[in-house]
Amino acid sequence: MQKAIVVHYFNEKKNNLAELNQLLQDGWKVVSQNPMSCSESGGTVYSLAILEKN
């Protein structure tokens, strides 16, 4: 089974890294990752992660 998650990071308080970390602890593995934006202007960084779990 696969799952897609858009990881976002603005700063230490505004991000969803805890959600990604929980999925990894639950046995999901990252099979691909692609950046969706850059932070040159100091904004939020987005990345599409595809996770897989058997």
pLDDT top residue among 41 and 26: 26
Task: State how far the Cα of 33 lies from the Cα of 47, in Å rounded to an integer.
Answer: 7
Give me 26's structure tokens.
């639950």
Order of strands, edge to edge, in the sheet holding 2-9?
2-9, 45-52, 29-35
- pTM of the predicted protein model: 0.82
Beta pairing partners, 32: 50
- In this prediction, residue 27 carries a pLDDT of 97
Look at 32 and 45; give whichever has higher pLDDT. 32
pLDDT tens by residue, 13-29 = 999 999 999 999 999 99
At residue 38, the pLDDT reads: 64
